[in-house]
Amino acid sequence: MAVVENLPSPSTERPIGFGRLKRKEDARFIRGKGTYLDDIELPGMVHGAVLRSPYAHARIVSIDTSAALAHPNVAAVVTAKDLETLGLAWMPTISYDTQAVLAGDKVRFQGQEVAFVIATDEYSANDALALIDVEYDPLPAVVNARKALDADAPLIRDDKSGQADNLASPTWEAGDERATERAFAEADHVVSRDMIYPRCHPAPLETCGIIADFNPETGQLDIYNGNQAPHAHRTVYAHVAGLAEHMIRIRCQDIGGGFGNKVPVYPGYVCAIAGSIVAGVPVKWVENRSENLMSTGFARDYIMRGEMCSKDGKITGLRVDAIADHGAFDSTAQPTKFPAGFFHIVCGSYDLQASHVKVKAVYSNKAPGGVAYRCSFRVTEAVYLVERMVDALALEMKADPIDLRMRSFIAAEQFPYETTTGWTYDSGEYAKTMDVAKKIAGYDDLRREQAEKRARGELMGIGVSFFTEGVGAGPRKHMDILGLAMNDGADLRVHPSGKAVVSISAQTQGQGHETTFAQIVAEELGIPPEDVEVRHGDTDKSPYGLGTYGSRSTPVSGGAVAVVSRKVRDKARMIAATMLETRPEDLAWEKGRWYVKGDPEKGAMIEDIAARAYSGEPMPADFEGGLDAQVIYDPPNLTYPYGAYIAVVDIDPDTGHVKVRRFIAVDDCGVRINPMVVDGQIHGGLAEGVGIALMELISFDEEGNCLNSSFMDYLIPTALECPDFELGETVTPCPHHPLGAKGVGESPTVGSPPAIVNAVIDALYEPHGVEHIDMPCTPARVWAAMQGRPEPPQ
């Protein structure tokens, strides 16, 4: 492949296996040679555009499409009525709710899909939207989740029989309520805080889109669509559209970011598929930026109350009561048996006496979503809450926030550790990692500097967070999505020349799969990573599996690739034994070669074994020939990466402007396959964390109008807001993962917001008495807090 040609020629400095290695895929990306959805043109292709509701809540009185249909370039205008005849007016969400594909009875959020125009070109399709005449009868909107269950709140989901209020799912609980009450009764110190993890958006730079190409002659449906779980999507389409699963092929080209936003199936996809089936030509639909921000999967939107207590200087108990705002349809991403995701990992990194968690979910007139934006299913909300609570408790106890954490950590010898909410943490040496962060930061010097600055009226804050995540969903016995086990497949073929192709069901959106997974095969078989091609993103050419989100690629797919490589290695051993005229058990392995124990000179390289496997030479008895294998990997447990983060902020006392001056991130994600890829993941995630802490917000006015529907109003951070990240590491291998690796993609986004908010509070508490501030810490909101008026975001 051209890509490989352009890389520096293999030399001794390039690892055969694990190690720092530039990403194979970057050669095409940095030259602008990636192929994204919108780069694909098919012959005879037509274009779709979606008409969206201007109202957050309104009854649809009538829809008149005649003027749009009269537009010379318009081929069709699809409404809910048309979809009803196809049985496609509603579709299931990943949380077993139903969502309108096109609104027929009512619109339930601003930006909801109302009609789909198909025209010869994108411009005409968009022009025709203005020609559709929809008469609405506006209704009062539910915007504030706290008021969604009020007796006089308008009913949003009158489409669901038996739904009498706006409760989206009943209260879900974890932990032990009585034991928690006891812990609080016995406590020396108790604190409580109300906080919001505001609604934000993954905002991938490439928006969502699809090309649906139905061939009426063969009945084959080809779908081009950058999504994070192509196999699961195909199964969903088979169910929704009643098409035969084997006649659907999904191809994901390069994906310009996903971050959870490209997990769900969106109404525009279903419209394009229906359009192609009816019209018999390929239909392309690509949403614009505003559509992406207004209508596709948002993240977070958790309203939380936390209480924490301590005894004898140690954290002992935690109580959490949360409301999840799901928007108009419940399409939160999480394993079926976990309606609040993994939020109950809120017990954090601490050896608690007891904890209790309650979450209830409500509908509101906002866009649906609740996707895991670089977050393993609500772990982000959980880590934010617990790490803010620890700092609140430290304030109350007048303790140093690091000391309190150190005293309360789960100790290394307690692993595997059963938490008070039912998780089994695999491994960790928390105090060691915290120490490394403290050292890099020069924590004691920072505290001295802060004291000096405070005396001069300057505002400097130091914030700590220590997170534990549960990632890599997950074990078949505990976890599924829509009935599909959260497992992944791998299929490895070593060709006669010793070069290999590994097909995986994970789906990169920029994480570097083409490099990392090649390195796993390389490590296990001892062939150079450039001799291993990673295939994914085509359901016809890759094994079944649930895709990439929730930091699951390395824990699950990585496990699959390690296991399949070892199967191939075992097969190679059989062949080598025949080649070397000895018994398999008399052979020993060194990277790339089986050799005879006791006669190390005598051996066979993988290339030679591969050549032999396809040759006419004698084979082991009962051996089919070829050097390949296939597996499905069912992880025995989640992996539990963790880390110690320290943020240093300076705040302009006159303007409230927060500058993150330093950020220290010490991650322990077990064994690092490619430390350079890991660093890249951490850099990106920290930048997103800075964004969420300081500026990212999807907000609504009282009528439910979305106030952040472009990048002018939805701010994402730039390099100028990010300090030079100072990274460190400790390595505590995962005991149950074949490679000892844990997931890492989400750790920085999960761990960094509380560190930054804790730093802001650390700067403001002494001089201004500020005990809490909700994100985003914009200049205006920080200033208001300094005036004694901290307000939750709208």
Partner 1 sequence: MQTPAPFEYERATSVEGAIAALERLGSDARIIAGGHSLLPMMKLRLASPEYLIDINDLAELAYIREQDGEIRIGAMTRHVDLLKSELLARRFPLFRDAETVIADPVVRNRGTIGGSLCQADAAEDLSAVCSAAKAQVVIRGAEGERVVGMEDFHVGPFMTAVGAGEILTEVRLRMRRGAGSGHEKVERRAGDWAIAAASAALWVDGGTIDDVGIALSAVGVTTIHLTRAEELLRGKPPSDELFAQAGVIASEDCSPSADGRGPIDYKRHLAGVLTQRALRRSAARALSEEA
- H helices of 412-525, in order, are 430-441, 443-455, 513-525
Beta-bridged to residue 214, according to DSSP, are 221
What one-letter code names the amino acid at 280?
A: G
- Given 126, 215, 253, 582, the residue binding partner 1 (CB under 8 A): 126
Told to check if 673 binds partner 1 by CB under 8 A, we report no
Of 513-521, 660-668, 710-718, 741-749, which segment contacts partner 1 by CB under 8 A? 710-718
- Residue 40 C-beta: closest distance to partner 1, Å: 14
Of 27-35, 54-62, 284-292, 398-406, which segment contacts partner 1 by CB under 8 A? 284-292
Burial class (CB within 10 angstroms; exposed 0-12, middle 13-18, buried 19+) of 9: exposed
- H helices of 287-356, in order, are 289-295
- Under 8 Å between Cβ of 469 and 376: yes
Phi, psi of 279 (to 5 degrees): -85, -20
- Residue 665 C-beta: closest distance to partner 1, Å: 21
Of 108, 374, 552, 612, the catalytic one is 374
DSSP 655-687: T--EEEEEEEEEEE-BS-S-HHHHHHHHHHHHH
Of 281-289, 298-306, 510-518, 671-679, which segment contacts partner 1 by CB under 8 A? 281-289
Contacts for 582 with CB less than 8 Å, ≥ 6 apart: 596
Judging by DSSP bridges, how do beta strands 46-52 and 113-119 pair with one another? antiparallel
Give the CA dihedral 522, 537, 751, 742, nearest 10 degrees.
Answer: -30
Cβ closer to partner 1: 266 or 409?
266
- Given 155, 167, 715, 731, the residue binding partner 1 (CB under 8 A): 715
- Residue 351 C-beta: closest distance to partner 1, Å: 40
- Residue 682 C-beta: closest distance to partner 1, Å: 21
Told to check if 471 binds partner 1 by CB under 8 A, we report no
Q: How far apart are CA 296 and CA 745, in angstroms?
A: 22
Phi, psi of 140 (to 5 degrees): -65, 145
Q: How far apart are CA 594 and CA 586, in angstroms?
A: 10
- Residue 222 C-beta: closest distance to partner 1, Å: 23
Told to check if 119 binds partner 1 by CB under 8 A, we report no
Look at the alpha carbons of 604, 606, 607, 612 in this order and tell me if their dihedral is positive or negative: positive
- Given 26, 38, 176, 726, the residue binding partner 1 (CB under 8 A): 38
Q: How far apart are CA 675 and CA 645, in angstroms?
A: 18
Told to check if 695 binds partner 1 by CB under 8 A, we report yes
Told to check if 290 binds partner 1 by CB under 8 A, we report yes
- Given 77, 252, 286, 293, the residue binding partner 1 (CB under 8 A): 286
Burial class (CB within 10 angstroms; exposed 0-12, middle 13-18, buried 19+) of 683: middle
Cβ closer to partner 1: 39 or 570?
39
- Given 32, 712, 724, 788, the residue binding partner 1 (CB under 8 A): 712
- Residue 393 C-beta: closest distance to partner 1, Å: 31
Would you call 416 helix, strand, or coil by DSSP?
coil
Told to check if 723 binds partner 1 by CB under 8 A, we report no
Of 287, 746, 777, 781, the catalytic one is 746
Beta-bridged to residue 467, according to DSSP, are 643
Told to check if 661 binds partner 1 by CB under 8 A, we report no
Told to check if 780 binds partner 1 by CB under 8 A, we report yes
- Residue 708 C-beta: closest distance to partner 1, Å: 7
- Under 8 Å between Cβ of 556 and 506: yes
- Given 72, 720, 724, 788, the residue binding partner 1 (CB under 8 A): 720
Would you call 594 helix, strand, or coil by DSSP?
strand
Contacts for 484 with CB less than 8 Å, ≥ 6 apart: 232, 235, 546
Told to check if 40 binds partner 1 by CB under 8 A, we report no
- Indicate the helix (H) or strand (E) that contains 603: strand 599-605
Told to check if 707 binds partner 1 by CB under 8 A, we report yes
Of 27-35, 102-110, 182-190, 651-659, which segment contacts partner 1 by CB under 8 A? 651-659
- Residue 691 C-beta: closest distance to partner 1, Å: 9
Q: How far apart are CA 171 and CA 360, in angstroms?
A: 4
- Indicate the helix (H) or strand (E) that contains 385: helix 379-397
When computed from its CA atoms, the radius of gyration of the chain, rounded to whole angstroms, is: 27
Cβ closer to partner 1: 14 or 657?
657
Kindly report whether the peptide bond that precedes residue 792 is cis, defined as omega within 30 degrees of 0.
no
Look at the alpha carbons of 677, 679, 684, 688 in this order and tell me if their dihedral is positive or negative: positive
Specify the length of the chain in residues: 794
- Tokens standing for residue 736: 């149950």
Contacts for 487 with CB less than 8 Å, ≥ 6 apart: 476, 545, 546, 556, 632, 633, 634, 635
Is 374 considered catalytic here? yes
Of 161-169, 243-251, 629-637, 653-661, which segment contacts partner 1 by CB under 8 A? 653-661
Would you call 172 helix, strand, or coil by DSSP?
strand
Cβ closer to partner 1: 286 or 309?
286
- Under 8 Å between Cβ of 193 and 389: yes
Told to check if 73 binds partner 1 by CB under 8 A, we report no
Q: Which of 321, 313, 294 is nearest to 207 (CA)?
A: 294
- Indicate the helix (H) or strand (E) that contains 756: helix 747-768
- Residue 539 C-beta: closest distance to partner 1, Å: 27
Of 111-119, 454-462, 481-489, 648-656, which segment contacts partner 1 by CB under 8 A? 648-656
Is 208 considered catalytic here? no
Of 288-296, 346-354, 374-382, 596-604, which segment contacts partner 1 by CB under 8 A? 288-296
Cβ closer to partner 1: 123 or 623?
123
Of 252, 347, 375, 669, the catalytic one is 375
Give the CA dihedral 558, 561, 562, 566, nearest 10 degrees.
Answer: 170
- Given 29, 96, 614, 783, the residue binding partner 1 (CB under 8 A): 783
Is 787 considered catalytic here? no
Cβ closer to partner 1: 512 or 776?
776
Number of residues that bind partner 1 (CB under 8 A): 32
Q: Which of 174, 171, 245, 94 is nearest to 549 (CA)?
A: 94
Told to check if 127 binds partner 1 by CB under 8 A, we report yes
Of 261-269, 390-398, 762-770, 772-780, which segment contacts partner 1 by CB under 8 A? 772-780
Q: How far apart are CA 57 and CA 154, in angstroms?
A: 10
Told to check if 710 binds partner 1 by CB under 8 A, we report yes
Cβ closer to partner 1: 626 or 793?
793
Told to check if 779 binds partner 1 by CB under 8 A, we report yes
Cβ closer to partner 1: 479 or 694?
694
- Given 192, 623, 655, 769, the residue binding partner 1 (CB under 8 A): 655
Residue 499: CA atoms inside 13 Å, Cβ hemisphere, count? Answer: 6
- Residue 298 C-beta: closest distance to partner 1, Å: 17
- Residue 779 C-beta: closest distance to partner 1, Å: 6
Is 14 considered catalytic here? no
Of 99, 110, 112, 228, the catalytic one is 228
- Given 305, 657, 661, 768, the residue binding partner 1 (CB under 8 A): 657
Residues lying near partner 1 in the complex (CB under 8 A)? 38, 122-123, 126-127, 286, 288-290, 654-657, 694-695, 697, 699, 707-708, 710, 712-713, 715, 717-718, 720-721, 778-780, 783-784
**Active-site annotation, residues:** 228, 374-375, 746
